[in-house]
């Protein structure tokens, strides 16, 4: 068997990283003094790392993050916001996902909710958890269109199946009766099987009213499926008079460059 034949078979088996590494070994004089076991081990390590990296890139791409550069390491604790650094560090370990618990991130517009949620999502991808980001208005529109097109189950599964789902703009607008049914169905499917990060301008205590309060037949049922096992991060200003948008802090405000 010729070396080229071996390379061709590796490529046919989609072991392209191993094929490239094997080709490099053949052209490297130093490899002549390396044992077969060691050289073969190097090839396997390279293919393994390549596949891991490719998987991570797919997870990040499929997550559809709003802020793809978000990073736990880049969270600004000196920006005048009250942030629990120890809690954020603990949640970055993704332990909450293994526990099937949720995270509630609340704060005013521009407080950095979305950035933090996407940063948590990035950490989940790094641990190879299937992750999905979506704005609640987009999610509800998606489900409404799917209902009319007969693809409701398929679209619902797109949001129900990810191990981590990030719902931004949670209850920014009061949902209609049909939208509440969709929210209930989604959260019921995810309950005790996955984790959800909710980003909202309203604190958790105000969600009941946003869901219609006593007049909302599903308000209690929806909150019962998420409220009892969530970690709360409320982003507040230490000094409101010195408030600055976190979009500016993280360089996300496009108007600043115009």
Q: Which residue has the tokens 């995270």?
A: 103
From the centroid of its chain, how far is CA 168? 11
Residue 246 has pLDDT above 90, yes or no: no
Q: Which of 4-13, 57-66, 247-256 has the lowest mean pLDDT?
A: 247-256
Give the span between the Cα atoms of 92 and 49, in whole angstroms: 23
Q: What is the pLDDT of residue 249?
A: 47
CATH number assigned to the domain with residue range 64-238, chosen from the 4 options 2.70.50.30, 2.40.50.100, 3.40.50.300, 3.40.50.1820 = 3.40.50.300
Give the span between the Cα atoms of 12 and 233, in whole angstroms: 50
Which residues of the chain are in CATH 3.40.50.300 domains? 64-238
Residue 140 has pLDDT above 90, yes or no: yes
- Pair 43, 25: CB distance under 8 Å: yes
Model confidence pLDDT, tens digit, residues 91-138: 999 999 999 999 999 999 888 999 999 999 999 999 999 999 999 999
């Amino acid at each position: 068997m010729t070396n080229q034949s071996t390379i061709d078979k590796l490529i046919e088996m989609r072991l392209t990283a191993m094929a490239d590494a094997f080709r490099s070994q053949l052209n490297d004089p130093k490899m002549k003094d390396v044992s077969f076991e060691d050289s073969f081990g190097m090839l396997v390590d390279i293919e393994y790392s390549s596949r891991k990296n490719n998987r991570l890139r797919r997870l990040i791409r499929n997550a559809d993050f709003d802020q793809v550069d978000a990073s736990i390491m880049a969270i600004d604790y000196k920006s005048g916001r009250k942030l629990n650094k120890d809690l954020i560090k603990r949640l970055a370990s993704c332990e909450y996902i293994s526990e099937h618990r949720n995270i509630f991130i609340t704060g005013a517009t521009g407080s950095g909710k979305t950035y933090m949620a996407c940063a948590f999502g990035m950490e989940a991808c790094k641990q190879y958890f299937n992750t999905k980001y979506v704005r609640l208005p987009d999610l509800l529109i998606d489900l409404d269109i799917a209902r009319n097109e007969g693809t409701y189950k398929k679209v619902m599964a797109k949001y129900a199946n990810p191990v981590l789902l990030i719902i931004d703009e949670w209850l920014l607008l009061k949902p209609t009766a049909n939208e509440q049914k969709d929210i209930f169905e989604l959260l019921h499917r995810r309950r005790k099987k996955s984790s959800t990060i909710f980003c909202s301008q309203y604190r958790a205590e105000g969600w009941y009213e946003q869901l219609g309060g006593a007049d909302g037949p599903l308000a209690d049922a929806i909150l019962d499926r998420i409220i009892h096992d969530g970690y709360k991060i409320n982003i507040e200003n230490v000094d409101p008079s010195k408030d600055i948008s976190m979009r500016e802090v993280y360089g996300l405000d496009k108007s600043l460059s115009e």
